[in-house]
A and B are shown apart, each in its own frame.
Chain A
């Protein structure tokens, strides 16, 4: 071998596969980004795909709630005193006209569940996004800057997490009028702390990585490092966490509405419906069962999908959760 050719001697064998680490059965699929790899893994996960399908269905139902109303001919606030209530004034059960029966005011439960899905999803998604954005930014700042910034944010997290959320929400609503915005803000303001704590932990471990030091050695400033070098490496756990947080938020919203401090009537809402059904479920089981089932199916679907997403994004070969 002549001197000088060693600079370019590593040849094209990369296409035939890099060697797997000693003892590990893991190997590397060539030519695909980490997201692509996650997608491939997710595609093989049947339970997650079904869950995703259910989530998509719920979203479609929420979007097309007016269509459902039009098809049935029943408005969401419309009370059918003659056909929707028995002569004793009790709801009627599922029948040809009211597929899922009616509620105590003679309104169509199916239509109201469809409209309720809108509230659940809006609150679930918007409030969760609020939590995640606040939590990520503060978690990033705490983890990256450390020192005083970290101490202050960590104390705020501790305080927020130790306030009894429900009591606070109830008293807040007693001061101002309950509304959708208030519900979202209350959930967002209380929910970010858990996200921030997760993000902070991730950043703390990533901060010590050599590639972060390399970025600093190249002259990258703190904001660039946080958002270009660190954030892409925690996007996966954040996505997973978001997916798992949505059902939690949906349940919290339903709980608030159930307690009468959430979305005010007559807006159709699953929590409000379940609360209303409490009085008469012995006479009208459908009024309790169907909204509860809608809530259960939604949360289970999100949770299964979130779990699948985590498995897909967190193969041992990658260093996401280190």
Chain B
């Protein structure tokens, strides 16, 4: 499963643990599946752009399952160093032993490596993927004096949330230009309701109401909110409702409170939710 932590998987040589056994539910919004398959044929590094919780991660899981490849996911954070991706020496009884990082594993044994929220990582960390993203397709392990040639199955995918962009956090131009990109956004009403209904188990009617509520919050994007409620949030609210929580409370818990600390916006959102149902 993709959620498995790296430390549990020291020195694996086959990546079976990273294979998806069941088909992850994914409802295509357009021709992104075909586009991704074409990109994969050429091992073209891909960038999945879109707001949080709109289904980027689910999409890549679905594609990994479709293509029958293992998927190694790394959630990037601001303290992440190159060693966290590439690997490091560890100490054991006999002396030092090298341990491949998740990126090196994917390169060596052939997996889709998905770097989630890449902008979060420090810029000096992100440059190490450069040699993997052009026709060299190799990863130099400086400390180990080794060059790892990429396995033919290796494919690099990153996710990138344009909403987070700021002067402080943005991808280097030289990094950006190495990727092809697929844009994601929240699905249109009926489709989103179908997804919410499928994932949370609530009826279509309730799911439609939830989608309508989400649209209210998305109207506030740039007018007090950085981002409206995501499909993921709606699924959360739906799951609560499916457990018998009343809609208003479920939305309060899953949507209003997490999304903002501003009392005025909370108030307006709660009132809008009341208007929707």
Question: Do chains A and B stick together as partners?
Answer: no
List residues of chain B with CB under 8 Å of any chain A CB. none
List residues of chain A with CB under 8 Å of any chain B CB. none
